[in-house]
A and B are shown apart, each in its own frame.
Chain A
Amino acid sequence: MKRKLLSCLVVLALLLTCLPLSLAAADEAPTKISVAGYMFGPIDNDLDVVTPAVEKILNEKYGLNVDIEVVYIEYSEYNEILNPRLAAGTAPDVFLAMSDTMLESYYDQGAIASWDVDFFKENAPDVCAFVMGGGVNGDLIDQVDKWMSAATAADGKMITVPSLKPDGSMPYKTLIMRGDWLDKLGVTDETLPKTVDDFVDLMYRFTTEDPDGDGEADTYGMSATGIKALFGAYGVYCGFVGGTSYWYEKDGEILNADVSDAAKEVVSILAKMYADGVIDPEFVTGSEAVAGSYWAISNGLVNGRFGASALASIDHFRLKDVLNDNGGPVAQEYWAVNGDDATFVYAPWPAGPDGDYGYCVGEAVAVSESAVYNAALNDDPEKLAKIFQIMNAFATDDELWTLAAYGIEGEHYTVAEDGRLVRNGELTNADLNAVGVWGCRSLYGADRAFSDFSYNTLFYNDPSIANRLNWFKKDQYNSYIQNAVTGVLPSAGDLQSELNTYRDETWISMIKGEIDIESGWADYVQTYMDLGGEQLYTEANEWYANN
């Protein structure tokens, strides 16, 4: 009997000693972090091999016991889906502010978390060091202040971790012309037009000299995007048709390109070209792509309706030998329609009277697509700290980032001889998303972590980027026109779209000859200013003075 009691006591004692242990284990349930980043398709929990692997490394190597839940929010309807969830309090912990306007309004509405700069430094020291050092080799050291001001709200608290990318301010669009038409007209690489006059002249020849050789006058010089080349030649960028206003600086004053003399000049040239049938009348749609199909395919260029287009980039028209693949996506379509030996030419931007040329370029510091954090995290600083520690882990651990961004070696990517990471070509981006690749994207940054390795992988060592950069080094292939106002003007939301419509309608009428430009321009400018242009002008200059 005694023995029985004793054994019972021993068992009890054992149980008691186990109890605190099991309680402790329950305490350490993984912190659940939900993240909705930029995705091409939903993650498939049955196939997802990447997220569990990432969690395992974070737990074992960094002591970050987290359960990452990847939430799929369709990118094209991101705000429509996210906003009700924000209102209902079911939004994920980490999500995207799609633009600086959205970022600001989220913060004003108290929808996103904010934190002290020191808090960020404490939890993500390597991310901070990378940014403050200006990225890889200090390339972007002059952008650090801009990054800081983009990351913080007016009250000095951080509200996002913007991306800092050399490719952000790199030229993108390229003027592309049909090679067969140029051959027919005897234009060689050396005689490609380099001035506005020569460019316009070539557009006339595309129209009148039957470059497709079918004996019919069924060709045009250019359409909606060729127009941008002319604006660039006069030193401005205009969103015409459909886009928004651009601002430029002149003698310390910020001016709207939509009411500039340069714009008047270009509209006059366009009116003459239109009257002579050189511009495709479909330019009024502002688009060269067929509705619903891939945006970068200029239907008119590919099918020989007009000869010049600036819709796509060199990458879209990449030749086969750059990556030893089938070529850029638009180039493939071009060859499919025009034959495998059909050619296209990257043309220099025509320069205007003052030597200006090019298309608009973006900013190295970008808020769009960078992550913001649910306001609920303000009450859970430990979780927010963990999120930044994860970001830091991605910045220091190249293997971890490769796993999250490329998947599993041999299955989702291979390492080429030169060390490049090559994705498995048989998997679409949506397939990769399904197995968990990119699921943690917004936890490590935008498309890359804040590390030399990821920048080298996605930018510096990428042959297609090198190809682009090589072309942009050539005379007049570069672009440099930047919007002088990179912030959000307070009244832009109310006024801008009406102004854009007014500009588009008036200019189209001018180009079609329904309004006389010489006599009508002053009226146009006056009405534009009255409709709200004046207000935006004041705000733009205030913004400029403060930044």
Chain B
Amino acid sequence: MKREKFTVWDALIYLVLGLFCLSIVVAFLHLLNLSFSPSYIATKGGLLLLPRDVTLDNYAKVITNKYIWQGYRNTILRTAVGTVVQLLFTAMGAYVLSKRYFPHRTFWTFFIVFTMFFSGGLIPTFLVVKSLGLLDTFAVMILPGLISAYNLTIMRNFFQSLPEEIEESCMIDGAGRFRIFFQFILPLSMPILATVALWLAVGHWNAWFDVLIYISDETKFTLQIVLRRIIITGSKEILDTTASARSVSDEPLVSSEGLKAACIFVTTLPILCVYPFIQRYFVKGIMVGSLKG
């Protein structure tokens, strides 16, 4: 194969992409340095590309915080169980809908896609969750969003791109529906599974609103809820009139910017580590999935 020449156009693309990457790295670097800095550095402001003063106090505080570890446990559990279960159900649903001989396929597809455009709203959803007895349970973090219409559509498109002959030859060899699905279709669909799994895992890792609304038992709080509480403490002035009625000592104690940065790091690090390993499937997965409508 002839090697293409490196043109000015390529250089420009590299430059733009390089700058884009830099803008992300700089933010991370700033945060990292901030997390190792005593609190006054943050008040001083400015960009921290090199540490001006190093302390491990922030990390010591984060690591000794009981809620962080409890949150970690819940988040890991949620991410692991949630991703596996959701992936399984989404794949099964998508597989069925990808079969041309499935009766009323268009209707069922529309039935599912329809939900992408309309949502029930917060309170009706809450009522449903409540009447299902899911409030304050671990399952509430997984079941209400078990199958996302978007992921299902993407997966369905991928399955449709697989040659139907595979299924036929499997059947001739005597494989049943489940064997075909688990032993042939799924292994062939690694790119899309990895892609959707990454979306789901990141989504679970970052999710906080459902916990905020549905969970009141603090032992089930996930990492993001704990992080949120630490980050927003004291950042908002309560209404003028009540501010005067409250003495300063009664306000939420300020968590220092360094502590916030350390928290952010401790909570984002795991997902950052996972990303590069699954990311290579990303492009492949989406591209193939998008071929056919």
Interface set of A (CB-CB < 8 Å, partner B) = 40-44, 71-74, 76-77, 80-81, 83-85, 87-88, 90, 99, 163, 165, 167-172, 243, 289-297, 299, 302-303, 313, 315-316, 318, 328-329, 333, 336-337, 360-363, 366, 368-369, 423, 428-430, 446-447, 458, 462, 464-465
Contact = CB atoms under 8 A, between A and B. Distances in A.
A76 B209 CA distance: 13
Contacts, number: 133
A336 B213 contact: no
**Chain A interface helix/strand/loop/mixed:** loop
B44 A167 contact: no
A299 B43 contact: yes
Contacts of B239: 99, 368
B235 A294 contact: yes
A44 B218 contact: yes
A464 B249 CA distance: 9
Contacts of B67: 41
Given A40-B252, A464-B249, A362 B240 contact: yes
A368 to B, nearest CB: 5
B248 A299 contact: no
A90 B218 contact: no
Contacts of A462: 247
A87 B232 contact: no
A289 B237 CA distance: 10
Given A336-B40, A366-B241, A428-B253, A84 B235 contact: no
Q: Which A-B residue pairs are the 10 nearest by beta carbons?
A: A336-B40, A362-B241, A42-B218, A84-B126, A172-B244, A315-B248, A295-B237, A168-B245, A294-B254, A362-B244
A98 to B, nearest CB: 8
Contacts of A168: 241, 244-245
Interface of B: 38-40, 42-45, 67, 122-123, 126-127, 130, 135, 212-213, 216, 218, 221, 229, 231-237, 239-250, 252-254, 257, 260
A171 B244 contact: yes
A316 B253 CA distance: 12
Contacts of A428: 253
A87 B247 contact: no
Given A42-B221, A316-B248, A336 B241 contact: no
Nearest to A313: B248
29 contacts: A44-B218, A71-B216, A80-B212, A81-B213, A87-B126, A167-B245, A167-B247, A168-B244, A168-B245, A171-B244, A172-B243, A294-B234, A295-B236, A295-B237, A299-B45, A336-B38, A336-B39, A336-B43, A337-B43, A362-B243, A423-B249, A429-B250, A429-B252, A429-B253, A430-B229, A430-B252, A430-B253, A446-B245, A465-B247
Given A43-B218, A171-B244, A316-B248, A329 B130 contact: no
Contact of B242 (A73, A291, A362, A429): A362
B213 A362 contact: no
A249 B240 CA distance: 20
A434 to B, nearest CB: 9
Contacts of A72: 216, 218
Contact of A315 (B38, B45, B241, B247): B247
Contacts of B232: 76, 292
A354 B240 CA distance: 25
Contacts of B218: 42-44, 72
B71 to A, nearest CB: 12
A294 B260 CA distance: 12
